[in-house]
Structure 1
Amino acid sequence: MPNEPRNESAQQRTESAERLARPLIQLANLWGVSTAYIDQVGTYVEIADESLVTVLGALGVDASSDALIDEALERIRTSMHTQLVPPTIVKFTGVNSSVEVRVPAGAKPQVAISLEQGGQAADDAATLEFAAHDDDVDVYTLTIADSLPEGYHHLSVSDGTETAESTVLRAAARIPLPKSMDRQRWGWMTQMYSVRGPESWGVGDYGDLQQLAGDAAAKSGADFMLINPIHASAPITPLEPSPYLPESRRFLNVTYIRPQNIAEYQQLEAIETPESARVLNEIKTLHERVAADNLNPDPININDAWDAKREALRLIFEQPRSAERQAAFDAFKQAAGEDLEAFALWSVAFEVWGAPWQAENDWFHKLDKHSPEIAKLKSEYHDMFEFECWLQWIADEQVAAAQQAAKDNGMALGLMQDMAVGVHTYGSDVWWSPERFAIGHVTVGCPPDFYNQQGQDWGQPPFNPNYLEATGYQVYREMVHNMFAHAGAIRIDHVLGLFRLWWIPAGKGPTAGAYVRYNYEAMLAVLTIEASRAEGLVIGEDLGTVPEFVRTTLSEHGVLGADVEWFARVGNSGTAGDPYMQPSEYRKYALASVTTHDLPPTAGYLLYDHVALRDELHLLKEPVEEFRKAAEAEQHAMLKVLAEGGWLSPEAAADVPNHVQEVVEAMHRMLKATPSLLMQAALVDGVGERRTQNQPGTSTEYPNWRIPLADADGNVVPTDQVFDSPRVQALSAIMNG
């Protein structure tokens, strides 16, 4: 099999008939692997054979020789020919949901639907009609009616000999707007770990979040607060700094717990006994060990902070709980079920046997949920197991308190939680349920674009689309449900992942990837069901290399897109220096913002900090002078649209270094001129911070996700002072105007 190069022809837009006739290309497409794509700047790219073979291997398909390719083609075609019914069926209101039921010739299929809430669906909820003969198979058309209630239902089809099971995802045609969305709403974006107060432990925590959310509503009039992902992290140090590389998306990051806000800590303060005084003194000493860092503008020491806090939490865990509190804890464990057991056992194994990514600790690969060693671990270290469960309960309580504070102080939506693309290769989700993922051969990332010229490899195993389909998207349903439990909106990072993900063969780099297609209708149905039940919103981060049909489909289903001023060029051009759109041309169904967490704060961007940083970190494929020239052209185009729109004075446009704050405010005034339902300001722009939170394409080369919130002079801005800042108040006035 030849290794075909990328085709850089500007004229060619589709694969040739000769290429499409090749068995490898046919096999890849039947398994949902795209064999070509159009990149961000419109270039047609064909995927090399080597990449296709590796990606197919990750899906369990051996395509390493011509003979094996032919065998695999025969198997999948036979399977498609004889499949009784698809394992997942999606039905949107008003949309035909017909699927094929294929039975042996002469057989009469029978269909029954068990409802999510119990009982059987009415006979007219599903109808069967004969469609055609296909050799030895009769094909029927199965149609789901609108009368079937919205939710998750169980369908069975029998041909008289065999019975197949299917999940019906019955959803509204689009996510309904909450009643609170009776007008445009705006809010703040913040990296919650970066904002600290006197009671913090060197890192922003759920207590800080509770105050930030309440103050943002009461003092700035904001309607939501977008925070970094708060998915679960490793149990002990050293911690992974990136909130976008969690160990599990099912559970919460317990390193953000505020010990002083736990009921049992407050009980210690109330009872005033010698023992309680001793424990409180130990906790106070631990707090003092890291509290000085709360005013340190240098990168956050997340490991020292967690080491001290974890000791304190252990002390609190060991205190007696009231009968009512114990009952609440027991109920939490029961509701979380096997998933909580998985995460807690993974955490205990991590603590007892060592970090799973260390070569000498091969328990991750040698042992699984069925291993007797794991049952023994739970028995011998049951107290540690209970502690890990307890931490999740406390985190859940504190996130709930932050959401309640947001709503009580007048926020329309409250917290907007961010959903990471995936999980760590050695995380609990992968260890306990490896069948959910394509592991060992590929990781997820994105192809090169203007902002990341070498592409990105996020080091995460992708969901296996075949597993999702076979299980009715159960794991996705649970994750979305749990996020909406304490949020008024969910932002999906890299929402293109609902449609396709860039799978990168191990060790080959981001440019050698291939897109794998997913059943986006199924995941949109889940999002619609869960958002409807929570009266919430879904926002999809649809930046970068995103086909227009993706944006159109999301909009049709009520998923808001993301419009960012620095990216919003006429015709969605990816070329720096091309003219920017007028704000009136922004999408109505979108979250409009000036910037993102992957760019420096606007002040830093205007002063070309990103140019110097990328050059320093060797992230450029071109001379720095060329990149600087492109950045200058981009800024000039932005200044032009700001000045022409009357949002920025000609004097400020001509002398940006001495008018940075004026430009920042002008960009937010322009934001107010958009029709977008949601608008977002960044706390870093509010206080005048210049340092970037995250530089894509780096890990240890830059202190990603550890930059504390500081003002234009480099002074830390404490939690309780954020919304009293004159600059924050000025930006709030613009957003409320």
Structure 2
Amino acid sequence: MRSTGFRELRRLAFSHGIQIAYRDIRGQRQTARPEALMAVLRALGTPIERPDDAPELLRARDVEQWSRRCEPVVVAWDDVPADLPLRLPSELDAGRLAAVIALEDGSSRELRVDLGQLPVTGSASVDGRRYVLRSLPLPEGLPRGYHRLSLGFPDGGLATATVIAAPRRAWQPSGEQARLWGTFLPLYALTSDRSWSAGNFSDLADLLEWTKRLGGQFTGTLPLLAAYLDEPFEISPYAPVSRLFWNEFYLDVTALAEFQASRAARDLVNSRDFQDELRRLRRDRLVDYRHGMRLRRRVLELLARQCWETPGPRREELETWRAAHPEAERYAAFRATVERYRAGWSAWPEPLRSGQRTDGDPDVARYHLYVQWAAEQQVRQLAQRHDQGGQGLYLDLPVGVHPDGFDTWRFRDLFIQSVSAGAPPDPFFDEGQVWGFPPLHPERQREDGYGYLRACLQHHLCHAGMLRIDHVMGLHRLYLIPAGSSGRDGVYIRYPAEEMYAVLALESHRGRCIVVGEDLGTAPDAVRRAMARHGLLRMYVLPFELRPGGQAAAPPRNALACLDTHDLPPFAALWGSWPAQERQRLLAWLRQQGCLTAVEGDEALAALHGFLAFLAASPAQALVVNLEDLWLETEPQNRPGTGLEQPNWRRKARYALEDVTNSAALQALLAQIDRLRRQGGEA
């Protein structure tokens, strides 16, 4: 196997952004198997069957790359002049270049350039043809935005590129808003007297309002994106049907204007059978998504019909929104087709798999269009109620989507099929992890001008004051596992990180939104350096920051600090799992820090108060308090590596919203956190 073909295979893989080797969590070098390299190359679109195919394919790859006059994307940072490299055949190394930059605002700038006067930065001979690499300076002072550069060469050749004019750093608040704290609870777990067996957008608004009354600036929750809650059925918030649409499961149905206008809907909700079923769902300790969604849908279908069939301002508003959001209409038609076949798109008849055609019931499509409009309204109203003072909503953007969802159907060419993103083996998962969703194609999303990424970010950032980027290392590289293989047989593929940071920083400023990168696990140092360079907050999670000798590392200023995450046991469970000797050392250390005066009563509660005081007084820019920690919950919301055999993503909080907001003990603790946030750390 160590033949010329194998050497060329590695070069071919490298030219496509595939890493030949990586360092595992123990620092040991792991080299990719030839079979894995070829499988990923095929998934990327390279027709390789055996290593001996690599030399010819590599030659074709070199010709393809050098024949491309320019890259499809160039970043123009605010603070430095930008240059666009041009690859020119030697016979075209002179003459006039016509360049037009179509700005996002509709205006344009024209450039006329003598190719022979541009600086030479390199050259190459490829397949018997000589090329020269020259550097085209872009105009300084481009307004922030996404601009289109069109190039006309002397030989009649044309090329285009997306110019991303962006701030180098994501948006950050200033002054008193620079030291933040907030609360966290999954929305499905947040029940109230009015909610239907799980929390809704109105409950989230009430929790945020209560948090702000106590001095906090934000409330966080898990992803709120569209989900399959019938057939197919997938409740994980990290496997959404789409990252562009909301989950109608969280609608406050009775708050919709159509509910007050529909006698049929009110009669249905007030009927004995409906109320009996609602009481049963409320009594259950776990959220029953399937039956809960069916109950909601019976009412929502009546409301959708009320809106579509009744002329007036609401119908006009829906029609206006529909015209302004053509992708929503495609999404609604997609969901109607899913319901017709009771399957994701990969099981549909072949003509429907292209991302263009649908074959669903028009009434079902109108229902889905209505609930998306209604959800968008309620999320917008929630954000607008709290757009003054603080950051409001802290939302979560998953790294992936459901493999049979809308996004992979509609934007199929942007995703790499026949592979799954995942993680290599580590001490917790000997076989690695196969996450089950297709990753984005690095080159094709560049050719798309990052339109899909921009849309995903805009969907969240127009409402959120803070956004968590799940698995932020995915901006740099992802671990890809060929279909049918284990997590041991994956390889890493690189992404154009600086271009993606440019999109993120630009959208962050437009939404005035803080960006948090989930950098837990084996994130390389280069990832955290890039996050710091571009103004993203990193995550400080207490269990990962404990040091030998019974102490915790101090949170850095550019961090969001917390005691745990949704993928970890709550604090009380973690505390109980640590050896008694270690617990005593930690308590003694907290006393030394002035965060604990005495341990009276429950040791876990004393430790909780001590560590929250430590984090609140730290210089960390943000502190998020998991409400379940405050009453010493021990059951996690998710057990990684398990599925529906565990109560993942379904466990309701022990206390309802009214119990939480009326608790004097919780209010006193959060008031202390607020005082420490205002007084401690570095300004």
Same fold (TM over 0.5): yes
* Alpha-carbon distance change, 255 to 157 in structure 1, aligned in 2, over 3 angstroms: same
> One-letter code of the match for 2:330?
A
**Deviation of residue 693 (structure 1)?**
0.2
What is the match of residue 680 of structure 2?
Answer: none
2-structure distance, mates of 1:520, 1:259:
41
1:457 is aligned to 2:434: yes
1:347 is aligned to 2:285: no
What is the match of residue 725 of structure 1?
Answer: 663
2-structure distance, mates of 1:239, 1:126:
60
**Deviation of residue 597 (structure 1)?**
0.7
> One-letter code of the match for 2:265?
V
**Deviation of residue 519 (structure 1)?**
1.0
The answer to whether the Cα contact below 8 Å between 1:126 and 1:144 also exists between their aligned partners in 2 is no
What is the match of residue 435 of structure 1?
Answer: 413
Gaps of 5+ in 2: 676-683
* Deviations 1:140-165 (CA, angstroms, capped at 9, x unpaired): 20223441111000001222321011
1:382 is aligned to 2:351: no
2-structure distance, mates of 1:637, 1:157:
66
Of 493, 496, 510, which aligns to 1:516? 493
1-structure distance, mates of 2:641, 2:588:
31
* Deviations 1:710-729 (CA, angstroms, capped at 9, x unpaired): 1xxxxxx1122322224422
> One-letter code of the match for 2:317?
A
* Alpha-carbon distance change, 540 to 126 in structure 1, aligned in 2, over 3 angstroms: farther
1:420 is aligned to 2:398: yes
What is the match of residue 402 of structure 1?
Answer: 382
* Deviations 1:14-53 (CA, angstroms, capped at 9, x unpaired): xxxx999922221111111112122234333222222222
The answer to whether the Cα contact below 8 Å between 2:232 and 2:342 also exists between their aligned partners in 1 is no
**Deviation of residue 228 (structure 1)?**
0.5
Please, which moves more after superposition, 131-140 or 255-264? 131-140
SS at match of 2:353: coil
2-structure distance, mates of 1:30, 1:578:
47
* Alpha-carbon distance change, 582 to 158 in structure 1, aligned in 2, over 3 angstroms: same
**Deviation of residue 391 (structure 1)?**
0.7
Q: What pairs up with 1:249-328 in 2 under 5 angstroms?
A: 249-268=243-262, 276=263, 278-285=264-271, 287-293=274-280, 295-296=282-283, 298-320=285-307, 321=310, 323-328=312-317
2-structure distance, mates of 1:553, 1:370:
35
* Deviations 1:306-362 (CA, angstroms, capped at 9, x unpaired): 11001110111121445222222122212221x2233212210111111228xxx82
The answer to whether the Cα contact below 8 Å between 1:93 and 1:171 also exists between their aligned partners in 2 is yes
What is the match of residue 64 of structure 2?
Answer: 79
1-structure distance, mates of 2:164, 2:20:
29
* Alpha-carbon distance change, 385 to 697 in structure 1, aligned in 2, over 3 angstroms: same
> One-letter code of the match for 1:336?
H
SS at match of 2:134: strand
What is the match of residue 553 of structure 2?
Answer: 582
The answer to whether the Cα contact below 8 Å between 1:364 and 1:431 also exists between their aligned partners in 2 is no
* Deviations 1:584-631 (CA, angstroms, capped at 9, x unpaired): xx22111111111101111122223xxxxxxxxxxxxxxxxxxx8xx7
Backbone CA RMSD of aligned residues: 2.7
What is the match of residue 134 of structure 2?
Answer: 140
Of 568, 578, 603, which aligns to 2:572? 603
What is the match of residue 272 of structure 1?
Answer: none
* Alpha-carbon distance change, 253 to 330 in structure 1, aligned in 2, over 3 angstroms: same
**Deviation of residue 632 (structure 1)?**
7.3
The answer to whether the Cα contact below 8 Å between 1:106 and 1:138 also exists between their aligned partners in 2 is no
Identity across the alignment (%)? 29
2-structure distance, mates of 1:641, 1:599:
23
Q: What pairs up with 1:517-556 in 2 under 5 angstroms?
A: 517-556=494-533
What is the match of residue 179 of structure 2?
Answer: 184
* Deviations 1:538-582 (CA, angstroms, capped at 9, x unpaired): 111011010111111111111111111111256xxxxxx586543
Normalised by the length of structure 2, the TM-score is 0.91
* Alpha-carbon distance change, 352 to 590 in structure 1, aligned in 2, over 3 angstroms: same
* Alpha-carbon distance change, 78 to 210 in structure 1, aligned in 2, over 3 angstroms: same
2-structure distance, mates of 1:363, 1:238:
13
> One-letter code of the match for 1:449?
D
* Deviations 1:135-190 (CA, angstroms, capped at 9, x unpaired): 43232202234411110000012223210111011101212313476431101121
1-structure distance, mates of 2:515, 2:314:
33
The answer to whether the Cα contact below 8 Å between 2:238 and 2:398 also exists between their aligned partners in 1 is yes
Of 649, 672, 675, which aligns to 2:616? 672
* Alpha-carbon distance change, 202 to 437 in structure 1, aligned in 2, over 3 angstroms: same
* Alpha-carbon distance change, 633 to 58 in structure 1, aligned in 2, over 3 angstroms: farther
Of 338, 352, 368, which aligns to 2:353? 368
The answer to whether the Cα contact below 8 Å between 2:281 and 2:292 also exists between their aligned partners in 1 is no
The answer to whether the Cα contact below 8 Å between 1:121 and 1:148 also exists between their aligned partners in 2 is no
1-structure distance, mates of 2:228, 2:276:
22
* Alpha-carbon distance change, 726 to 71 in structure 1, aligned in 2, over 3 angstroms: farther
2-structure distance, mates of 1:590, 1:122:
43
**Deviation of residue 110 (structure 1)?**
2.8
1-structure distance, mates of 2:331, 2:414:
15
1-structure distance, mates of 2:322, 2:486:
41
What is the match of residue 647 of structure 1?
Answer: 595
2-structure distance, mates of 1:406, 1:558:
24
> One-letter code of the match for 1:485?
C
Of 141, 144, 148, which aligns to 1:150? 144
**Deviation of residue 82 (structure 1)?**
2.1
1:207 is aligned to 2:211: no
1:335 is aligned to 2:324: yes
The answer to whether the Cα contact below 8 Å between 2:416 and 2:439 also exists between their aligned partners in 1 is yes
Q: What pairs up with 1:627-666 in 2 under 5 angstroms?
A: 638-639=586-587, 641-648=589-596, 658-666=602-610
Q: What pairs up with 1:494-513 in 2 under 5 angstroms?
A: 494-513=471-490
> One-letter code of the match for 1:195?
L
What is the match of residue 15 of structure 1?
Answer: none
Gaps of 5+ in 1: 3-17, 269-275, 571-576, 609-627, 711-716
1:240 is aligned to 2:234: yes
1-structure distance, mates of 2:175, 2:379:
21
The answer to whether the Cα contact below 8 Å between 1:124 and 1:145 also exists between their aligned partners in 2 is no
> One-letter code of the match for 2:106?
G
SS at match of 2:234: coil
What is the match of residue 231 of structure 1?
Answer: 225
2-structure distance, mates of 1:634, 1:54:
47
The answer to whether the Cα contact below 8 Å between 1:234 and 1:347 also exists between their aligned partners in 2 is no
* Alpha-carbon distance change, 215 to 454 in structure 1, aligned in 2, over 3 angstroms: farther
> One-letter code of the match for 1:478?
A
* Alpha-carbon distance change, 543 to 561 in structure 1, aligned in 2, over 3 angstroms: same
The answer to whether the Cα contact below 8 Å between 1:184 and 1:676 also exists between their aligned partners in 2 is yes
2-structure distance, mates of 1:126, 1:259:
64
> One-letter code of the match for 2:8?
P
2-structure distance, mates of 1:64, 1:633:
58
The answer to whether the Cα contact below 8 Å between 1:253 and 1:395 also exists between their aligned partners in 2 is yes
* Alpha-carbon distance change, 665 to 394 in structure 1, aligned in 2, over 3 angstroms: same
2-structure distance, mates of 1:649, 1:597:
30
2-structure distance, mates of 1:435, 1:632:
54
Please, which moves more after superposition, 392-401 or 170-179? 170-179
